[in-house]
Chain A
Amino acid sequence: MKTPFFAATMAIARKDLRAEIRSRELISTMLMFALLSILIFSFALELDRVARAEAVSGVLWVTVVFASILGLNRSLVMEREGGTMDAMLLAPISRDAIFFGKLVGSLAFTLVVGLLLLPLMTILYNLPLVTLNLLLVLLLGTLGFATIGTLLAAMTAQTRARESLLPIVMLPVALPVILSSVRATNAILMTTPGNDWFAWAQILIVVDVVYLVLCFLLFQYVVED
């Protein structure tokens, strides 16, 4: 008899969070990368207020995306190298539970990085980044990116060039999420008329739903030999 889906999903997510709280391997790497990125961008881009508002959405999402890739790669590669992915596949659980369990963990780590970036970038770039609208866009963008990232990281973790392959495969596939997130963030920061951030947020919701369904359907074929 199969273990209930929700129980298995939560067990996997809790395991990832507990292991990370203990080791801080992923989150420390992601945070260090994110901090260095925004610092370098802030020194490199000495812009006026309008230009800064235009550029900062790109800086935010480039940083979140690459920090997220670092975390996703490491998380799935560790499962493969340690053989623990096989141990999970041996258990009487749905493959979808493994996918959603890993997704919850990846989403949590990326959100932590994003949530820390917003106040830091508010100070560095002197722009109001901590707003409810931006938090919603951050959540939607991160969800879409973590969803497609979990599937692709599970796929690339089985290859020899696993460390370098994920960004090459992922960035084109995740383009709709990145584009919508940047545009929505830009629309929130540029308070000029006609900038409808919510239209971009709606596109993000649709893209997230499409990715969730596709990844849900494909994950079992990716992880099974």
Chain B
Amino acid sequence: MAMNSELSPPTQNSALIVIHALVKAYGFIPVLRKLDLSIERGEFVALLGANGSGKSTLLRLLSGLSQPTAGTITVGGWEMPREADAVRAQIGLVSHKPLLYENLTARENLAFFARLYNLSRADADARTKQLLERVGLIKRRDDAVRTFSRGMQQRLSIARALLHDPAILLLDEPYTGLDVDAAAMLDQILTENQREGRTIIMAVHDIERAASLASRVVMIARGVVGYDAPSSALDVAGLAEKYSQVGVGQSTGVITAS
């Protein structure tokens, strides 16, 4: 799978994603409080944090679906959401919801999104076939999505997110509701995508999975980065301990692995 590489930064900054003093509040309730983070091209970042810590909000902001209250986000040098049009074609999002039309078939869903991403008919057909084979749904391509199990819908959702060959893949708790086989397939797809050089940011609750798949672990607590280190810096037990410290501790400063 050749990755789309049209995300050409207008600046010389080496980081693909740069987040500075990011604030997001819903009414008077702040979710993110001056969060700083930068992510290099090709990194696989696992976002850990308790429910309501701001992981999903951060992913919505990165995808341009939500507007920051204050602070800046640049993706490939483009400022979000002001210049989101330049970035949208380079982002794929897998949410805990499948984001699919239940009354359309698997193939019709992918054909619809291929049109929205301006893929030619030939490219759309080729990518649809390739991805349906990859997620194990080629035999069910002409069945309505409403007849699919939760795991099958999530697999199709991954195909939808990869259809336009994005440089950045955002995943918001993609393992929700998946059985063991479907979760293993998702593990494999993510590993392959990382090997191909795709930048992956995944919000997840499973510390073991984060440690085994990601190249970097970022913990968000009370709207700021509470821990940020390569996944190899600590073993699963160490990460779990750190998670407890960061999640319930008093400090909101960054705790480094060292």
Chain A: residues with CB nearer than 8 A to chain B?
1-4, 7-8, 11-12, 15, 18-20, 22-23, 25, 82-84, 86-93, 224-225
Chain B 193-211: CB-based contact to A (< 8 A → 1; otherwise 0): 0000000000000000000
Name the residue of chain B whose CB is nearest to the CB of A89.
B65
> Which residues on A sit within 8 Å (CB–CB) of B103?
19-20, 22-23, 25
Distance between B90 CB and nearest chain A CB, rounded to angstroms: 9
- Is there a chain A Cβ closer than 8 Å to B191's Cβ? no
One of B91-99, B175-183, B221-229, B246-254 contacting the partner:
B91-99
Chain B 51-68: CB-based contact to A (< 8 A → 1; otherwise 0): 000000000100111110
- Is there a chain A Cβ closer than 8 Å to B79's Cβ? no
Could you list some 27 contacts between A and B, CB below 8 A? A2-B85, A7-B118, A11-B112, A18-B104, A19-B103, A19-B104, A20-B103, A82-B98, A82-B100, A82-B101, A82-B102, A83-B95, A84-B100, A86-B65, A86-B93, A87-B93, A87-B100, A88-B116, A90-B65, A90-B88, A91-B113, A91-B117, A92-B117, A93-B116, A224-B67, A224-B81, A225-B65
Q: Is the CB of A15 within 8 A of B104?
A: yes
- Is there a chain A Cβ closer than 8 Å to B108's Cβ? yes
17 further contact pairs, Cβ within 8 A, besides A82-B99, A90-B88, A225-B60: A1-B89, A3-B115, A3-B117, A7-B115, A15-B112, A22-B103, A23-B103, A83-B95, A86-B99, A87-B113, A87-B160, A88-B116, A90-B64, A90-B91, A92-B85, A92-B88, A225-B66
Name the residue of chain B whose CB is nearest to the CB of A16.
B101
> Which residues on A sit within 8 Å (CB–CB) of B115?
3, 7-8, 11
Distance between B116 CB and nearest chain A CB, rounded to angstroms: 4
CB under 8 Å from chain A, chain B span 117-142: 117-118
Which are the 7 A-B pairs with shortest beta-carbon distances? Answer: A83-B97, A91-B116, A11-B115, A3-B118, A87-B99, A225-B66, A92-B88
